[in-house]
Amino acid sequence: MKKVFFVIIFTILVSSPSCFANEYQKLQNLKNVEILRRPKTSTVNNRKLTKGRINSAREASMQTVNVDDFGAKADGRTDDSQAFKKAWSKACSSSQQSRILIPNKTYYINPINFTGPCKSAIKLEIRGTIEAFPDTSLYEKSQRRWIFFEKVRNFEVYGGGTINGNGQVWWKISCKVKKTKPCNDKGAPTALTFYNCTNLRVTNLRIKNPQQMHMNFQSCENVEASKLTLTAPEKSPNTDGIHVTKTRNINITNSVIKTGDDCISIVDGSRKVHATGIVCGPGHGISIGSLGKNGAMDHVSNVFVNGATISGTTNGVRIKTWQVPF
Q: Which residues are catalytic?
A: 284
Three-class DSSP category at 253: strand
Strand-pairing partners, residue 10, are 303
Q: Are 130 and 157 in contact (CB under 8 A)?
A: no
The residues, any chain, with a CB within 8 Å of residue 45's CB and separated by 6 or more, are none
User: If you ran DSSP here, which 8-state letter would residue 324 be given?
Assistant: P
Q: Are 243 and 215 in contact (CB under 8 A)?
A: yes
Give the strand pairing for 248-258 and 145-150: unpaired
Alpha-carbon gap, residue 177 to 160, rounded angstroms? 32
3-class SS string, 23-59: HHHHHHCHHHCCCCCCCCEEEECCEEEEHHHHHHHHH
Q: Are 54 and 282 in contact (CB under 8 A)?
A: no
The residues, any chain, with a CB within 8 Å of residue 230's CB and separated by 6 or more, are 206, 207, 208, 214, 215, 241, 242, 255, 256, 257, 258, 259
Single-letter amino acid, residue 114? F
Alpha-carbon gap, residue 284 to 290, rounded angstroms? 13
